[in-house]
Amino acid sequence: MSFELDTPLTEALGTSTARSLQRAFGMSTVGQLLGHYPRRYADRGELTPIIQLPIGETVTIVAEVLSSGARPMRNRRGAMTEVTIGDGIGRMSLTFFAKNVGQAEWRAKELAVGRRGIFSGKVSVFNNTLQFAHPDYELFDDTEAAYRKADAHKDVPITIYPATSAVQSWQFAKMVASVLDKLGEVPDPLPDHLREREGLLTARQALEQIHRPRRRGDVDPAVRTLRMHEALVLQTALLQQREQVRSLTATPRRATEGGLLERFDAALPFTLTPDQQRVGDEIATDLVADRPMNRLIQGEVGSGKTLVALRAMLQVAESGGQAALIAPTEVLAAQHLRSITRMLGPDLSAEVIPTLLTGQMTVPERRRAALRVASGQSLIVIGTHALLSEKTTFADLALVVVDEQHRFGVEQRESLRAKGTAPHAIVLTATPIPRTVAMTVFGDLDTSVIRSMPAGRAGIQTFVAPLAEKPEWFGRVWERAGEEIAQGRQVFAVCAAIDTAKESVESDEAPPPDVEGKGPKWGVVQLAEALATHPTLSKVRSAVLHGKMPSEQKDAVMQAFARGELDLLIATTVIEVGVDVPNASMMVIMDADRFGVSQLHQVRGRVGRGEHAGLCLLVTEAEAGTPARERVEAVAATLDGFELAEVDLDLRGEGDVLGASQAGVKSSLRLLRVVKDAGLIAHARDLAESILIADPSLDEHPGLRGAINRRVSDADRAALGKN
């Protein structure tokens, strides 16, 4: 019996093992198991006598089991098998951990005294004794055969897999080997002529060589082949999604002479920037087409993306169409409602009735808001995830606007669109996205960029306060804040956590990977307590703001700050986007190294939005030359968000830049790296376009169609198709 990629793991490996893999990795098929590639390879090295083993290196030895036993763990759940092996000259210990005593005893029985074999692992020291923890091993009855086998294996790399405590790397390797032994032919995503032209392995060869390389040289061709498969599948799926949306029929939404949009533009107290005008024209053209618009708008913090989106909302409202703007937080949704109502003015607001709909509203408030939306009375609806509720219905949803797309997944965008009949869609992001990332994450969208900033902005100066070298600067930071407040301006102080005194540090954001595990020094609670005794700042009007506060309280604090009733706001990154206070001129970011590049750039965009020049001080104790310090200094060096986006990719890697919330095909990059593989992604997109032009339904490319079906789950496919 041979397996196919769609064979269930219950059939290939048994119910118990399949259940473990489902719990640990969410796998259910042979294809998903084989798509879990090794994260690295270790060299077995030359055969080395035990007494010459180098600490910290991976080695292979031939040895005999001298003692073997199992016992329960002393201080935690589980059991362990302890084994002593020797090669006639030296001795070392082997340690294996198990979930229960039964498993540990099984291994002790397998590693019975007198058995010989090869053992490969990383050498460590415990209680002054050399040790392997969970080594790979193979036992033999014939001593000479053991040595011959070990010598033949010395150049074969050891695969190291991403693992969990329940499924260890060596266990995973054995499962993969068991499946590969019975794996039949694997359909190729690329037709033979393209595969040969690209110089790639067959799909079956690539899987064999990445999981069971005979030598180091086998790995690179396998990775190159599977990387191309990944890029091609991803780009083809995105292009199919784009074409699926384009194939739908949308209701054209035309602006009329003397209509809402024309009246709004006439009342504007300023002139649109050239970029705002250009992007607005692109959107206006899309809205009168008979197919749905699907457009991404990138723009710096404060570049006027919301204004551009509002003009689109008014254009669809002229024909009675509704626009829904979904924002990631309650604070941002409420801020959008206030700013949109202010921009519209009383007359236009009375006609379109902007309505807020969030999960934190009282039941009567939410019922009234939902009724205005369902009846079509409200033509502009602003909300959070509450808009996605089955109870939320629209009379005529014509336009979906997603603010800060990186906070949402594809499913959320498309499930909101499903509440209308082929509505148009605009995605807004203030996180500038390098072209290769945009191609990978937003390949189904047309892209517009707003680079120019509105006139009248005084700009921002950013400086690093390096406390590791200059601890005395800490006091000066707060003196400077007091000086700013004394001139009638307002100050933000931003912390990476809510309360660092709690055993589990509460935070509104996850830290960058290079600082994970190191707690921030300052939380909102701690900074507020410290500043309460400051000679100057203890006397100013201050408040705290963070994500764990009740919605009404958060909104009340933010409104008080916006009205100028507070001088100092001590907050987490809940103020990251959408909070517009023109009088706020200074920002202090504590533990600045705890934030990513793009996030620091976003947060500092809250100041310098009015007539006063903005000042941002990045306070950090990170040592000079460390990645954390480089990140902070990169932000201080430029205000160009697009340049910082490239820096962010270099420093953090695209996994963090894309974010886990980009659901569907976009979040599942395995071998593909959007920076390093930019050329490959572009080439794969060209290939995908040419394939789809010649064969839109992929009837002549069953391997590619099958790979897309395996890669894009049923749930993803349903979400991508909802319109």
In a domain? residue 325: yes
Return the pLDDT at 13: 94
* Residue 470 included in any domain: yes
Residue 489 lies in a domain: yes
| 240 located within any domain | no
| Last residue within a domain, chosen from 400, 427, 450 | 450
Domain that holds residue 124: 44-156
Same domain for 305 and 277: yes
In this prediction, residue 657 carries a pLDDT of 34
The residue among 272, 190, 260, 251 whose CA lies nearest residue 224 is 190
Say whether both 385 and 506 belong to one domain.
no
Do 391 and 488 belong to one domain? no
Q: Are residues 424 and 291 in the same domain?
A: yes
pLDDT for position 53: 86
**What is residue 717's predicted lDDT score, i.e. its pLDDT?**
44
pLDDT < 50 regions, the chain: 503-507, 513, 516-517, 578, 654-667, 714-723
How many domains in the chain? 3
For residue 141, being part of any structural domain is answered with yes
Kindly write down the DSSP assignment for every residue of 633-691, as one continuous string: HHHHH---HHHHHHHHHHHH-HHHHH-TTS-GGGG--SS--TTTTHHHHHHHHHHHHHH
Taking only the tens place, the pLDDT of each residue in 61-96 is 888 899 999 999 887 888 999 999 998 889 999 999
Looking at the structure, do residues 434 and 496 belong to the same domain, yes or no?
Answer: no
Secondary structure of 139-187 in HEC code, one letter for each residue? EECCHHHHHHHHHHHCCCCEEECCCCCCCCHHHHHHHHHHHHHCECCCC
Domain boundary among 132, 156, 180: 156
Query: Are 536 and 631 within one domain?
Result: yes
Pairing of strands 136-140, 116-126: antiparallel
Whether residue 9 is contained in a domain is answered as no
Burial group, residue 442, by CB count within 10 angstroms (0-12, 13-18, 19+) = buried
pLDDT for res 353: 97
142 in a structural domain = yes
Task: Look at phi and psi of residue 134 and say left if phi exceeds 0, alpha if psi is from -120 to 50, else beta.
Answer: left
466 and 360 together in one domain: no
Plot region of 289 (φ>0 → left; ψ -120 to 50 → alpha; else → beta)? beta
Tokens of 488: 């009638």
In a domain, 172, yes or no: no
Per-residue pLDDT at 445: 80
Q: Do 474 and 379 reside in the same domain of the chain?
A: no
Same structural domain, 530 and 589: yes
CATH code of the domain in which 493 resides: 3.40.50.300
- The dihedral through the CA atoms of 234, 240, 243, 249 has a sign that is negative
Residue closest to 374 by CA, chosen among 419, 429, 424, 331: 419
Query: 551 and 634 in one domain?
Result: yes
Residue 127 is part of a domain; what is its CATH number?
2.40.50.140
Residue 364 phi, psi (nearest 5): -60, -40
Q: Based on the fold, state whether residues 53 and 139 are members of the same structural domain.
A: yes
Write the single-letter amino acid at 542: S
Domain end marker among 116, 136, 156? 156
Same structural domain for residues 129 and 58? yes
